[in-house]
Amino acid sequence: MYPADAQFPVYCPDCWWSDRWDPLSFGRSFDFSRPFFGQFKELQLKVPRMSLNVVSNENSEYVNLGGYNKNCYLVFAMEYNEDCLYGTEIIKSLGCVDTLNCFESRYCYEATDIEKCHAVFFSRDLSNCSESFFLSDCKGCSQCLFCTNLRNKRHHVHNKPVSPGEYEREKALLIERLNHGELPILRDEFTVMEKQRIRRSASLVNCENVTGDYLKNSHNLHHCFDVSYGEDSAYVYTGFKVKDLMDVCHVTEGELSYEALSVGYGSYGALFTHASWSGRNLLYCDIVQSCSDLFGCAGMKQNRRYCILNKQYLKEEYEELALKIIAHMRASGEFGEFFPVSVAPFAYNETTAQLYFPLSAEEARARKFGWREEREEPLNMTRTIPAAKLPAAIADVPDDILNWAISCEATGRPFKLVKPELDFYRGHRLPVPHIHHDERHKRRMALRNPRKLWDRECAKCQKPIVTSFAPDRPEIVYCEECYLAEVY
């Protein structure tokens, strides 16, 4: 995940986890004549970082932030998947391509926020649906086309029931249109239909006393997003099994943490800390694995305790020195907030922040964020073809396309297909994509609401609601009671 010109050493995962190097060898004493963050940055530039944050994957070289996956390609933040391509936040799924927030699903394509689905295509906000195209906000539906707000229906087209024979004819026509290059037209038709559907003020399942969106099985959450099994927390973005957290992003099984990013798997008391798992009582640490009682450490592992700037201390020495450093940081105005941008190992446009809060290069630099100019690596291909000149019908696409570079219709960036991907399109009679996979991900992200909340009124009963739909947006937004009465 780091460029070749990174200022710090980068190890492959096997070497990073091995005992062939010792993080304590980079330890240094704290200098009370200097600010903390400058000293931490110097340490950070010396300690090796993992090239990819992965564990126990098989035939999945091009993945990151994931473990226990098999035959996956360009998938991120994922666990226990097989044969999945081009996706983010994918859990326990099989054969899914171009998905975002896909859980326990099989053979789905261009789908966002789906759970326990099978063979759904060009759809969003689904659970327990199967063998369907262009669905939005449906549950327990199968063999449906162009439908919204349905519950436990079968053989529906444009929200109207049809006979099994009529459904098959409509599906055959849809496949034919896909293979005649009409996907953009079909998307536009679906967008028009979606504008008429009822939106719930927030996606909440089995929740009590919460504000936010995409929350499940949780209580006492304030301004949280994409959290399941959470309690007594505020300002948490993307969490699973969390308790007593505030200002934390990307956490699995974490408790009593504050101002932290990417922590969990049994973590407790992670404060102002990044990328640390299975640890306890960590303060201003970066990439710490299975350690406890550390302050200002980077790249620590092997169950270390009582270290400051990667230097080992006795318990009593550690506790005394830590209090002195905290007092020093308070005096310099450093203590109490997350790491400053000066210690970030990435440029702003290399992070997911650019997807949620996009900035131009000028805006990022004005805020003293780093910016990396993108340079396309040359693809070792025998031919480059504009996407518009690809055969419309998947049956007409030759095997040799795997040796071509395809120019994205939207950005002009070249991209290639891999064989499992081509096999997937052929097996489901889907057209080859004309858009670069990075741009496809951006478009899926754009389908989700921002992680912000506004006050507005229910469009039916005028009751005040808190929602991620801004007041000036045109969608029809109902409070929970009116929404449930409408769809059930």
Together in a domain, 332 and 295: yes
Together in a domain, 228 and 319: yes
Together in a domain, 178 and 90: yes
Total residue length of the chain: 488
Q: Is the pLDDT of residue 378 over 80?
A: no
- The residue segments making up the domain with residue 358 are 346-370
Tokens of 66: 């994931």
Together in a domain, 208 and 196: no
pLDDT at 377: 74
d(CA 163, CA 143): 11
Q: What mean pLDDT do residues 274-291 have?
A: 94
Phi, psi torsion values for 222, nearest 5 degrees = -120, 120
Together in a domain, 169 and 66: yes
Together in a domain, 164 and 211: no
Among candidates 328, 336, 334, 284, which has minimal Cα distance to 310? 284
- Provide the 8-state DSSP code for 425: H
pLDDT at 380: 78
> CB under 8 Å to 363, separation ≥6 — which residues?
none
Q: Is residue 31 part of a domain?
A: no
Tally of CA atoms within 13 A in the half-sphere of 139 that contains its CB: 5
pLDDT at 473: 94
With cut-offs at 50, 70 and 90, classify the pLDDT of residue 381: confident
Among candidates 453, 485, 483, 484, which has minimal Cα distance to 471? 453
Together in a domain, 96 and 191: yes
Q: Is residue 377 part of a domain?
A: no
Together in a domain, 329 and 244: yes
Q: Is the pLDDT of residue 302 over 90?
A: no
Cβ atoms of residues 323 and 329 within 8 Å: no
Taking only the tens place, the pLDDT of each residue in 332-342 is: 999 999 999 99
Single pTM value for the model = 0.92
Taking only the tens place, the pLDDT of each residue in 39-85 is: 999 999 999 999 999 989 999 999 999 899 999 999 999 999 999 99
Together in a domain, 255 and 163: no
Range scoring the smallest mean pLDDT among 164-168, 235-239, 334-338, 377-381: 377-381
- Order the strands of the 160-161 sheet from edge to edge: 54-55, 63-67, 73-79, 85-91, 97-103, 109-115, 118-127, 130-139, 142-148, 154-157, 160-161
| Average per-residue pLDDT for the chain | 95
Q: What mean pLDDT do residues 131-141 have?
A: 98
Together in a domain, 416 and 300: no
- Provide the 8-state DSSP code for 94: B
Q: Is the pLDDT of residue 376 over 80?
A: no
pLDDT at 10: 97
- Paired strand residues for 249: 237, 261
pLDDT at 374: 79
Q: Is the pLDDT of residue 222 over 80?
A: yes
Cβ atoms of residues 407 and 386 within 8 Å: yes
pLDDT at 482: 97
Question: Could you please report the per-residue DSSP string of 33-72?
Answer: TS-HHHHHHHHHTTS-EESS-EES-BS--SEEEEES-BS-
Strands 454-457 and 198-200: unpaired
pLDDT at 419: 97
Q: Is residue 254 part of a domain?
A: yes
d(CA 245, CA 243): 6
Together in a domain, 150 and 193: yes
Q: Is residue 91 part of a domain?
A: yes
Q: Is residue 173 part of a domain?
A: yes
d(CA 204, CA 128): 17
Together in a domain, 250 and 149: no
Q: Is residue 378 part of a domain?
A: no
Q: How far is CA 362 from CA 348, 349, 356, in A?
A: 12, 12, 17
Q: How many domains is the chain built from?
A: 4
d(CA 277, CA 266): 7
pLDDT at 187: 96
Long-range contacts of 462-465 (CB under 8 A, 24+ apart): 465/201
Q: Is residue 475 part of a domain?
A: no
3-state secondary structure of 371: coil
Q: What mean pLDDT do residues 452-478 have?
A: 96
Q: Is residue 303 part of a domain?
A: yes
Q: Is the pLDDT of residue 311 over 80?
A: yes
Torsion of CA 311, 313, 315, 317, to 10 degrees: -110
Q: Is the pLDDT of residue 461 over 90?
A: yes
Q: How far apart are the first and last CA of the chain?
A: 46
Taking only the tens place, the pLDDT of each residue in 165-192 is: 999 999 999 999 999 999 999 999 999 9
- Provide the 8-state DSSP code for 151: B
